[in-house]
Amino acid sequence: MGTLAVLALVLAGVCRQQARFDPAVLAAAVAPAAAAPAPADLLGPWPDGLAPMNAPEAFTPGTLSDKIDGKADLYLSAGFVSMRSQRVRLAGGAGTWMEVLVYDMGLPANAFSVYSSQRRPNALDAGVGDYAYEAGNELCLVHGRYYVEVVGSDASDSARRAALALARAFTGSTAVAEHADIGADQALFPAKGLVAGTLALVPADVFGFDRLRNVFVAHYRDGGSELTLFAARRASHADAAREAAELRGFFVTECGGREAPPPPSPPGAAIIDMDGSFEAVCAVGPYLAGVHQAPDRDCAQRWLAVIGARVGGGRP
């Protein structure tokens, strides 16, 4: 009976304490929660005739594949930092809309890498930003560290004009510390035989070799055949020579190639017979360079001499 009496007193005390509300807690429960600030539009103000259709979206390296499933690896391997996107509609455009995707790639070279890898064969220079092209319903550009895509619902003249206005508005309102400039790298590749628009900076897995990264490549025509020249500046000749040896080993040991008689120059160069095509690799100064998928040994040797002379300072 005594124990029950004590428990009854404890219960009464608990009930009485619970009935006393702390005014601060009561005020917090009653006061409305502060509304979260709406995310800023991707571009503000929008060019005349354009209005947002939705709030901007943001993506990180961990969520990028949610937006561009199947292509995320290209961006991630090139140094992707973040991406924001938003859709806008064109006033009086009979349902025409476009989506703007702004990729922060960290460095201008990384932005050019994905730009050049994505460039379509039928693209036309757009004349905006550091580098830009139009192809069908897309306008793509590099502005410093940013790679930007404007993808329209159609390729009408009004949509193309609006996309160009969007691109100019973005470059005009977005400050960058450094612009993309591949002029020096582009000058390594001869104009004769070059297939227009094929110069690209490949960020990773070049020619299927997982340790070969950040290499400029360009496609060439030689008579009725096609081949690829490549070049990449490294920190020193020792680094370039080491990568050249690794690439040669990759073609021989992992791809089943056979060493062909080496060319007379440059020193240390190698030609590999791939049973249907030929690879050529050399290191000249701080440059790794060579030829990919030449149709025969003479062609591989001839073009190796060309690219080797150009990275070495000559201009044949």
Same domain? 305 vs 206: yes
| 14 has a pLDDT exceeding 70 | no
| pLDDT value of position 95 | 87
Q: Rounded to whole angstroms, what are the CA distances from 158 to 45, 71, 149? A: 19, 29, 17
Residue 150 covered by a domain: yes
Residue 151 is assigned to a structural domain of this protein: yes
Do the Cβ atoms of 290 and 230 come closer than 8 Å?
A: yes
Please check whether residue 267 lies inside any domain of the structure.
yes
Is the model's pLDDT at 281 over the cut of 70?
A: yes
- According to the model, what pLDDT value does residue 27 have? 42
Structure tokens at 72: 């995320």
Residues 164 and 129 both lie in one domain: yes
Band (pLDDT 50/70/90 cuts) for residue 37 is low
Q: What local confidence, expressed as pLDDT, does residue 21 receive?
A: 45
Mean pLDDT calculated for residue range 4-15: 56
- Helix and strand numbers (H, E) in the chain are 9, 15
Structure confidence at residue 120 (pLDDT): 87
Give pLDDT tens digits for 138-189. Answer: 999 999 999 999 999 999 999 999 999 999 999 999 999 999 999 999 999 9
17 in any annotated domain: no
Mark whether 103 and 207 lie in a shared domain.
Answer: no
Asked whether residue 193 carries a pLDDT value surpassing 60, the answer given is yes
Residue ranges of alpha helices (H) inside 57-107 are 64-67, 72-77
* pLDDT recorded at residue 92: 75
In this predicted structure, what is the pLDDT of residue 316?
Answer: 58
pLDDT higher than threshold 70 for residue 299: yes
Per the CB < 8 A criterion, the answer to whether 170 and 88 are in contact is: no
pLDDT at 76 over 80: yes
Contact 57, 84 (CB under 8 A): yes
| pLDDT tier at 40, thresholds 50, 70, 90 | confident
Please, which pLDDT band fits residue 32 given cuts at 50, 70 and 90? low
Looking at residue 273, the DSSP 8-state letter turns out to be E
Tell me, yes or no, whether 268 lies in a domain: yes
Q: How confident is the model at residue 33 (pLDDT cuts 50, 70, 90)?
A: low
Task: Let me know whether 200 and 247 are in one domain.
Answer: yes
Question: 17 or 79: whose pLDDT is higher?
Answer: 79
247-264 mean pLDDT: 95
Q: How confident is the model at residue 26 (pLDDT cuts 50, 70, 90)?
A: very low
More confident residue, 213 or 2: 213
Q: How confident is the model at residue 264 (pLDDT cuts 50, 70, 90)?
A: confident
Do 97 and 133 lie in one domain? The reply is: yes
> Given pLDDT bands bounded at 50, 70 and 90, which one contains residue 69?
confident
Q: Which domain holds residue 73?
A: 50-173
Q: How confident is the model at residue 25 (pLDDT cuts 50, 70, 90)?
A: very low
Q: Characterize 221-260 residue by residue with b for buried, 16 or more Cβ atoms within 10 angstroms of its Cβ, and e for exposed.
A: eeeeeebbbbbbbbeeeeebbebbeebbbbbbeeeebeeb
The domain boundary residue, chosen from 173, 203, 235: 173
Residue 42 lies in a domain: no
Residue scoring higher pLDDT (9 or 138): 138
Q: What is the mean pLDDT of the chain?
A: 90
Name the percent of the chain lying above pLDDT 90.
79
Task: Out of 149, 173, 197, pick the residue that ends a domain.
Answer: 173
Inside any domain, residue 251: yes
Task: Find out whether 201 and 119 touch, Cβ atoms under 8 Å.
Answer: no
User: Are 243 and 156 contained in the same domain?
Assistant: no
Q: And the tokens for 44?
A: 């503000």
CATH label of the domain that carries residue 261: 3.40.1000
Residue 122's pLDDT is what? 84
pLDDT at residue number 123: 93
At 42-62, the pLDDT tens digits run: 998 899 999 999 999 999 999
Total-model pTM? 0.84
Residue-level pLDDT at 9:
58
